[in-house]
Amino acid sequence: MVCALVEVHRMGIIHRDIKPENILLRSDGTAVLGDFGVARRIYRAQRHEQMEYIVGTPYFMSPEQALGETEDESTDIYSMGAVFYNMLTGEKPYRGETLEMIVYQHLHAPVPKLPSCYRHLQFFLDRMMAKDKEQRYSATALLNLLGELSLTA
C-alpha cells in the first residue's frame, strides 16, 4: 500500500479516505488502493480555505482533516498509520460513542500502543500517526524504511 501512496503522491493526488474498506486484495494477494471519490489534487486542497464538512472516515482521519485544515501527503500517512494499527490489532486506533469523542482523540490522545508482540513496529506507528504532520514520514521515506526492515529481518 505504501508503494501506491508513493505513486499517487508523485502524481500530486491526496487520497483523503484511506481505510480498510478502500484497500482491496487481488487474487494474487497484492493490495490495491481503491475509491478515490474524495481524492484531491494537492494544490487545490492546499488553497481550499473553508471546509463546510469533514471529509474522511472518522476512525481513520488525520487531525488536520478533523480541523478542516490544509491537507497534504502527510494526511494520507496518518490514515495509513491508523489502518496499520487496525491491521495489527483488529481494533480501531481510537473509539468513542460520538463523532466528537473520536475526533478529540485524533487531536489530543497519545498514539495508541501496539501489543507487545508488535512493539518493534511502534516507532513506525508513532511517526505515521504523529499529531504534528511535519513529524510524519513521507510515503517515500516510509517505503525506504520498510525496505530496510525487510532486508534486516
Give SS3 for 138.
coil
Is 35 a residue of the active site?
no
Of the candidates 17, 28, 72, 132, the residue annotated as catalytic is 17
- d(CA 43, CA 12) in angstroms, rounded, equals 8
- d(CA 143, CA 47) in angstroms, rounded, equals 28
CB 105 within 8 A of CB 112: no
122 Cβ contact partners less than 8 Å away, ≥ 6 residues apart: 113, 114
Residues classed as catalytic: 17
